[in-house]
Every structure is written in structure tokens, then in C-alpha cells.
A = this chain, B = another copy of it.
């Protein structure tokens, strides 16, 4: 406990992110001030939304400052407490630093979690922010109705795979896309989607939708943007909903621009963005629904765990290239006993 490794954000990327935006450093062991706790972090969530945070944006989600230690959703165990409500051994979840150890002030998004409900990893995974994101988008914006067609881009990802399965639970015909044949097979064979395709090998998104969504798209759970969103708009049905969860294709390069905007008028489309942190009030409903779905075997999930804090930058870079399969988690230390 005398050495600490941290990952700093050192350079805003232009275009595709590479590892030069990050620096892995040895830092002194932090000391908790009065009211703080010292955490040994053990899991970190790696997510697409981290890319826009690397840009200076006018948004509610604050950008990373150049020079800061990276942060994101993570889990840690209390090793020393100067806060009356926390004891050594308590496990907390929240926006944590990419650091083996950190001093933290409880409150805000940081909360103590009860052990034993599920494996620790699942708190960040199937029970975590990605799944809640899918839940909020589908419930508040998608409002799926029986028999409607739902299309999910990035459907094998942490968010997309939950959105797609929620669509099945709610009686939709669900079509998903992903970037490898393995992922497509998993969508069809394991998740039971009605159709799935590899967006890298189809002739075009337009032909893919003509084949797989011949009646058009009622609901789009949008993670990609760009040409994907264009094809969705060109195939949207009257009163369609486009759940704007992300636009990963835009994060690294400026997209081609969305044409045929008049279809939003003519087809009475609702295209709506959201940020999950506005909707933490839905956590209890989500937790109850998800527990039931898991118990009934209606939700399957997949995660990739990468070990070692020093591997976090390159793993995050790979996320933007679609190299992950399912939820991406970095293990930066051993689980607490």
C-alpha cells in the first residue's frame, strides 16, 4: 500500500483516439481528509460515452480536463474511513478514478452497495448503468407496443443487448446489427432476435433494412448515428420513435450529415436524446424488473473483462473500434473477500 498507479487524460484526441491521449503514472498513496474514505478500486466500466467527454463540449456531462485522472463508473472497497457512515470493507460504487487507490468524498452518485445480491461484476454489468440506460430509453422514449418493429444498432453491446431483449419481452419484432459474424450469431441464437445482420458486410444499410425490416421501423434504439441513422430515418414508419442514446460513429470523425429531415415531419417522428444520470429515480423500477427477467431467464448478457489498470487505455481505444463483445469491464484489483 505504498504505491499507486493512475491513468491521466493528457491530450484531447482529434479524429480517432489512440493511447497517446493517456498516461499511466505512479502517484503517491492518497490520504483521506476528514469526511473522506480511502478506496481500493477493483472494477471499472469502460463505455462509449467516454469518447465525447474527451472533447470540449457544451453539455451536462462535463468533459475530461486535460491533466486530470480519468474517471468513470467503478467499484471500490473502503480501506480506511474518516466518514462516520463508512467502515473498512464496505463496497462502494460511483464515478471513481482510474486509480488503484483514491480518496473520495461519499455522496452524489457514490453509494454503498449491499453484498450478496449478485456477483460484484454484475453491479457494473447487467445491473449497472448500461442496462439502466437501455431501460430508461425503452421506457421513456421507445414506449414499445406489441407487434412493433424495433431496430437496435450496436446490438451486442452492453446497452444494445439489453434494449434488444427488452424489445422481445415487450412483444416487438426485434432486428439488431453488429460488426462481426460471431456477434450476429449470438444475437440470433442466444438472444433470440428475429433478425440480425453484420453492418460491415451488408451491401448497404438500406438494403439490409429492405430485407430485414420490410414494413419499416417503429422504434430505433440508436447508438451509432451517421449512415446507420440515415437509413433508419429513410425506413422509419409513421409515429416512429428514435431513441437517441449515442452516436458512436460521430465521436471520432464528423459524420456526413443527416438528410431527409422532412421525414421527421411527414412521419411524425419523435427523435429524443437522454442521459441516464437524469433518471436515477427509475433505478428501483429497473432493479425490480431486471431481477424478475434474470430469474425467468429472459435476459442474457455477456461481458469482457480486461485485467490490469495499465491495459485500460488500449482497451478503451478498442471499444471505439468495436473490439469488445458485450459489457466491457476492467479489473484493476482483486475482489473483496
A205 to chain B, nearest CB (A): 15
> Is there an interface contact between B271 and A61, defined as CB atoms closer than 8 Å?
no
Smallest CB-CB separation from A257: which chain B residue? B257
- Please judge, given known A-B contacts A259-B257, A271-B271, whether A265 and B238 are in contact too, CB under 8 Å: no
> Is there an interface contact between B244 and A60, defined as CB atoms closer than 8 Å?
no
Asked if A34 is at the interface (CB within 8 A of a chain B CB), the reply is: no
Give A79 to B57 CA distance when docked, in angstroms. Answer: 65
> Is there an interface contact between A52 and B273, defined as CB atoms closer than 8 Å?
no
A236 to chain B, nearest CB (A): 10
Give A52 to B278 CA distance when docked, in angstroms. Answer: 38
A277-310 interface mask toward B, CB cutoff 8 Å, 1 = contact, 0 = none?
A: 0100000000000000000000000000000000
> Is there an interface contact between B265 and A244, defined as CB atoms closer than 8 Å?
yes
Interface size bracket, A side = 35 or more
Give A10 to B279 CA distance when docked, in angstroms. Answer: 53
By a CB distance below 8 angstroms, the chain B residues around A263 are: 59, 273
Number of copies: 2
> Is there an interface contact between B271 and A238, defined as CB atoms closer than 8 Å?
no
By a CB distance below 8 angstroms, the chain B residues around A270 are: 270-273
A209-252 interface mask toward B, CB cutoff 8 Å, 1 = contact, 0 = none?
A: 00000000000000001000100000000100000111100110
Asked if A267 is at the interface (CB within 8 A of a chain B CB), the reply is: yes
By a CB distance below 8 angstroms, the chain B residues around A250 are: 260-262
Smallest CB-CB separation from A247: which chain B residue? B262
By a CB distance below 8 angstroms, the chain B residues around A255 are: 259, 261
Helix, strand, loop or mixed for chain A's interface? loop
A320 to chain B, nearest CB (A): 14
A232 to chain B, nearest CB (A): 12
> Is there an interface contact between A273 and B266, defined as CB atoms closer than 8 Å?
yes
Give A265 to B275 CA distance when docked, in angstroms. Answer: 7
Give A238 to B268 CA distance when docked, in angstroms. Answer: 22
By a CB distance below 8 angstroms, the chain B residues around A273 are: 263-270
Contact of A59 among B57, B59, B247, B266 (CB under 8 A): B266
Asked if A186 is at the interface (CB within 8 A of a chain B CB), the reply is: no
A10 to chain B, nearest CB (A): 23
> Is there an interface contact between A265 and B278, defined as CB atoms closer than 8 Å?
no
By a CB distance below 8 angstroms, the chain B residues around A258 are: 257-259, 261
A129-143 interface mask toward B, CB cutoff 8 Å, 1 = contact, 0 = none?
A: 000000000000000
Asked if A119 is at the interface (CB within 8 A of a chain B CB), the reply is: no
Asked if A256 is at the interface (CB within 8 A of a chain B CB), the reply is: yes
Asked if A85 is at the interface (CB within 8 A of a chain B CB), the reply is: no
Asked if A254 is at the interface (CB within 8 A of a chain B CB), the reply is: yes
By a CB distance below 8 angstroms, the chain B residues around A274 are: 265, 268
A57 to chain B, nearest CB (A): 6
